[in-house]
Amino acid sequence: MAEWEVADDSPGVLLMELLEEPSLEVRGGGETIKAQSSEESSPFCEANSARAASLFKFMGREIPLAHIPNLLSLDLPKVIPITHWDVLAKRLVYRADLPRAGIFQCSLTGLSFQVKSAVTITYRYDTWTEHLSEADWETWVPAGPLFHIEVQPGVVQAVHLPHFICLADVNTSLCSIAHFKSGEMTLERPTRLIAFSAVLENPSFSLLGVLWRRLRSALNSLPMHSSVLIFQQSNAANTFRFYLIPDDNSVKQAIKKEEMECDSKFIPKPPPFKPLFFGCDYQVTTTKPAQITPETRLPFCYRSPKKQQLYVEIYIENMAEEIGLLMTDTRDGIEVWRASLRSGRNSSTVTWALCLLGPAFMKENKTVLCSRMGQLPTILMYLRDANVINSDEEEEVQRQDTRRKRNQILLKLVEKKGRKAQEQLYQILWRQDPCLMEDLELS
C-alpha cells in the first residue's frame, strides 16, 4: 500500500503550486527579481549568474534557493513503490499504488504523478542508447532519465518527468519530451518546466523522457545539476572511486548497484555548489599527498546507465589525518565542489570517520531528531532492506499516533541494535535529508 507523510496543504505542496504560478518574486543581493513562467522562460533554480537571486520569501520566511529542491522532494506526498526484478527486461520494476486523487512523488525515482482517482502505476528505467538513432544523438542530448510507464488511460492528469538542467539563463524552448512507440520517436513540448521536472499534462504513456536540443556552439554553456559519488574499496581501504555524473537517478542506481556488488562502502557527500557543463573537464585535487589515476581531469558527460561510468581512483597513503577533496573548472580555475574525509581513530583497519560517527551523532542529537526527522516511511523502508528492523518493528513504529512518538520509538529500536544499526540510520539520514544533517552537524 502507498504511504505518504503530509497533507496536500503542506508547505512543500504549496511551494510546488507557487513555483508553477506565472509570476514569482525572488529577492537577492538587495534587489527583487521577477521570474516569469512561460514558453520562453521558466521558474528559477540556483544559477551561476552573478545577479541570480539567493533567497526566496515563502510563507513569511526567507528560504535559500539551494534548499528549494529539498523542500520539493521532502514535502510532496511520497509514495514508496513495491519493486521487483524483471528477468526478461533485466531491470528493476516499480509499482506505485496511489490511494486517492492528488499529486504523489516516487521516493526512489523522483517521478511524480497527478491523478484524478486511485490507480496503480508501474514504471521502470529504460536507456536512451537503445532508442535514439545516431542522427538523434547529433541533435539531442538526454536531460533526464528515460521511463517506461504503464497505467490505466485517462486517470493521470499530469506527469512530472525529472530533469537535471538548471533553468536559470537557458532557452527553455530547446526542451522537448520524447515518446517512443513502435520504434519511432515523436516530440512534444512540455506544458511547463519547473525546477527539476518537466510537466506534461494529459499525457499518453509509452517510453517518456526529457531531451534538450543540442546546439554545438552552446552545449558547454548549458548549466546542469550534478552529483558526486564516492566509494571506498573493500579490498583496498586506502583507495576511493570518485564519480562525477549528471543528477540522474538511473545513473546513480546503476553505479551503486555495481559498487555494492563489490562490497564497496558508499560515502555520502553533498553535490557541487555550482552548475556544471557537459563537454567540460573538472580537476580533482587533494589538500594532502595522494595518487589520482588515470589522471586528475574528469570529463563531465552523459553516459548510459548500462555503460561503465567514468571515475578517477584516489589512493591516499597516509590516512591518519583529515584530507580535503576539491574540484575546479579547468576553464577558469573556479572551485565548484569541496569536501573532506577523516580517518577513524579506534579501528585496527583504517576506515573513515563517516562510517564511525553514527552512534555519537545519534546520542548527541536524539532529542532534536525526535522532533525534526521526516520521511519516515522511506527511512523505514531502507532500514528494513538493510535488515536493521523487521516488519513487526516497522508496524510498531507506524502504530504511534504522532510523528514525534514514531521517531522516538524508531531511535530507541535502532539504539538497542547497536553501533552498526546506528551507522545505517546515520547514512540513510544523510542521503534523505542532507539539509537537516548539515544543520545538526554544524550546530
Collapse the DSSP code of 414 into the 3-class scheme (helix H, G, I; strand E, B; otherwise coil) and give the result. Answer: helix
| H helix and E strand count, the chain | 10, 28
Amino acid type, 245: I
Strand partners, 63: 56
Note if the bond before 99 is cis, omega within 30 degrees: no
Give the pLDDT score at 46.
Answer: 31
Claim to verify: residue 101 and residue 41 sit in the same structural domain: no
Rounded Cα gap, residues 138 and 353, in angstroms: 45
Same domain, 287 and 242: yes
Same domain, 240 and 267: yes
Whether a cis peptide bond, with omega within 30° of 0, leads into 294 is: yes
Residue with cell 557527500: 269
- Using the 3D structure, point to which of 351, 382, 414 is the last residue of a domain: 351
Whether 211 and 200 have beta carbons less than 8 Å apart is answered as no
pLDDT value, residue 419: 85
C-alpha cell at 86: 524483471
Using alpha carbons, select from 207, 211, 214, 210 the residue that is nearest to residue 199. 210
How would you write the pLDDT of the chain (443 residues) with one tens digit per residue? Answer: 333 333 333 334 334 333 333 333 333 232 232 333 333 333 323 333 333 333 444 334 444 443 443 344 335 678 888 888 888 877 889 999 999 999 999 988 999 999 999 999 999 999 999 999 989 998 999 999 999 999 999 999 999 999 999 887 788 999 999 999 888 899 999 999 988 899 999 999 989 999 999 876 555 678 999 999 999 988 777 899 999 999 999 999 899 888 988 888 888 888 898 899 988 999 999 998 899 999 999 999 999 998 999 999 999 887 767 889 999 999 999 999 998 887 654 333 333 333 346 788 888 889 989 988 988 888 888 888 778 898 889 889 999 999 999 999 999 999 999 888 888 888 788 777 766 776 776 55
pLDDT of residue 198: 95
pTM of the predicted model over 0.75: no
Provide the 3-class DSSP secondary structure of residue 24. Answer: strand
Rounded to 5°, the CA angle 218-222-224 comes to: 160
Last residue in a domain, options 321, 351, 381? 351
Residues 341, 285 share a domain? yes
CA–CA dist 197, 163 (Å, integer): 5
Does 139 reside within a domain? yes
pLDDT at 248: 94
366, 301: one domain: no
- Kindly report the CATH number assigned to the domain that includes residue 426: 1.10.533.10
Domain holding 237, by residue range, is 225-351
Q: Which of 315, 335, 351 is the last residue of a domain?
A: 351
Same domain, 133 and 171: yes
Pairing of strands 226-233, 192-194: unpaired
Contact (CB, 8 A) for 318 and 387:
no
For residues 303 and 438, state if they share a domain.
Answer: no
Asked whether residue 2 is assigned to any structural domain, the reply reads no
List the end-to-end C-alpha distance of the chain, in Å, as a whole number. 38
**Which residue bears the cell 548549466?**
223
Query: Does a structural domain hold residue 391?
Result: yes
* Strands laid side by side in the 291-293 sheet: 265-267, 226-233, 236-246, 311-315, 291-293
Residue 255 located in a structural domain: yes
For residues 87 and 215, membership in a common domain is answered with: yes
177 and 217 belong to one structural domain: yes
Task: Please report, for residues 208, 394, 412, 418, the alpha-carbon distance to residue 389 in angstroms, rounded to integers and kept in the order given.
Answer: 36, 7, 12, 12
Specify whether the CB–CB gap between 150 and 205 falls below 8 A.
Answer: yes
Identify whether residues 40 and 84 lie together within a single domain.
no
169 shares its domain with 46: no
> 242: closest CA among 317, 288, 278, 292?
292
CA distance 248 to 225: 9
Contact 82, 95 (CB under 8 A): yes
What's the confidence (pLDDT) of residue 17? 38
Tally of structural domains, the chain:
4
Task: Identify whether 214 is part of a domain.
Answer: yes
Residue 5 lies in a domain: no
Same domain, 283 and 406: no
Per-residue DSSP letter, 66: G
157, with CB counted inside 10 A (0-12, 13-18, 19+), is: middle
* Helices of type H across 262-306: none
Phi/psi at 281 (5° precision):
-100, 145
Residue 209 CB coordination number (10 Å): 27
Considering only CA atoms, which of 132, 177, 162, 126 is closest in space to residue 147? 126
